[in-house]
Amino acid sequence: MGVTIHDVAARAGVSVATASRAMSGQRGVRAENRDKVLAAARELDYEPNVVAASLRSRTTHTIGMVVPRIANPFFATLVESIEKQLHDGQRSLLLANSHYDPEVEQRQVRALLDRRVDALILIPCHRERSGEVLATAAARIPVIQLDLRVDGFASSWVGVDNEAGVWQVVRHLTERGAKRLVFVGAQPTDSAAQARLDGYRRAAGDGDDVLLGDFSKEWGQRAAKLLLQRGELPDGIVCGNDTIALGVLGELAGNDVRVPQDVLVAGFDDIPYAELSRPALTTVRQPQEQIAAEAVRILDARLADDAATPRSTAITPELIVRSST
């Protein structure tokens, strides 16, 4: 048999209860005794039974998180920000990918619930169809929606004011002299796609010139080809996110269209590649560290008080002007 907490207690000369409290970091243990217990655990090469400890405390010190597509640089860096916040509190993150498929999302959430995560951070992949699994999770553990949200679902949410961000872009392009704008975005199946489309239409006034696909570089390339086929480019292209914008920039460059001399191009999110593109991309920066800190703060409040009132926090993003405009 392996070394047990009884062996550690005997080596340290303390009770099993004291040894257990010392190993779990609980209060009420004298510093001298804690040092003895930790030294005995090292000497005996003691490995705590994490599963048993979780059953006793009814907590696993793990948080589940489901994102639509981890390959998207925005989601990847947002996950890192959340993970850093959790690690500061000695907790681990269990990550799953929904691939923008509500059925996959449902399986991933159920798998995390089966692993007894203490709470769930969900970036729902669909404005409507993610509602069922969100309700299932919220009936069992604290849940917070991050970045995206399900229409009309009463749970805490943290993200940016997407409409305000698009408004900043449109105002910037018009101040740069652009009179004819085009919006290249994604079909409004998720809340960000809808909000950015709505924001563009309100900000542009006559914002009916829109091309909708998905949040991918490939769609940006196809959209740019469609614009080139028109024969006359607009003065400015407002992209629904940076990956679309990178696709647009690449296709324009391949057809000898100069940015910003011939057309202005802007994105949204400020992913790491935005500054490295040629030309460097004007975009809307989402303050991910602030978003992550607020999300974990709200989640902690809910874990401490199950009856805590749901909160929605929309953070104003920042326009980052670079060479593409």
CA dihedral defined by 45, 51, 56, 61, rounded to 10 degrees? 100
Longest distance between any two alpha carbons in the chain, whole Å? 85
Q: Are the C-beta atoms of residues 99 and 69 closer than 8 Å to each other?
A: yes
Using pLDDT thresholds of 50, 70 and 90, give the confidence band for residue 1. low
What pLDDT, on the 0 to 100 scale, is given for residue 58?
60
Task: Check pLDDT > 60 for residue 51.
Answer: no
pLDDT of residue 21: 79
pLDDT of residue 55: 46
pLDDT digits (tens, 9 = 90+) for 259-314: 999 999 999 999 999 999 999 999 999 999 999 999 999 998 888 887 678 889 99
All structural domains of the chain, each given as residue ranges with its CATH number in brackets, are: 5-57 (1.10.260.40), 62-160+288-316 (3.40.50.2300), 162-285 (3.40.50.2300)
Q: Exposure pattern of 98-132 as b/e (b: 16+ CB <10 Å)?
A: bebebebbbebbeebbeebbbbbbbbbbbbebbbe
Q: How far apart are CA 302 and CA 308, in angstroms?
A: 6
- Higher confidence at residue 42 or residue 280? 280
100 φψ region: left (φ > 0), alpha (ψ -120 to 50), beta (else): left
Count of other CB atoms within 10 angstroms of residue 167: 18
Alpha-carbon distance of 230 to 42, in angstroms, equals 72
As a whole number of angstroms, the distance between CA 295 and CA 229 comes to: 44
Return the axis-axis angle of helices 16-24 and 31-44, rounded to nearest 10°. 90
- Percent of residues, the chain, with pLDDT higher than 70: 94
Predicted pLDDT of residue 304: 82
- Output the average pLDDT for the chain: 91
Range 24-35 average pLDDT: 78
* Residues 120, 93 contacting (CB under 8 angstroms): no
Q: What is the pTM of this model?
A: 0.80
Q: Burial level of 245, CB count in 10 A (0-12/13-18/19+)?
A: buried
Across the range 161-181, mean pLDDT stands at: 97
Cis ω on the peptide bond leading into residue 260 (within 30° of 0)?
yes
Taking residue 270's Cβ as centre, other Cβ atoms within 10 Å add up to: 25
Q: How far apart are CA 217 and CA 14, in angstroms?
A: 62
Q: Is the pLDDT of residue 151 over 50?
A: yes
| pLDDT value of position 324 | 98
Q: Report the pLDDT averaged over residues 125-152.
A: 94
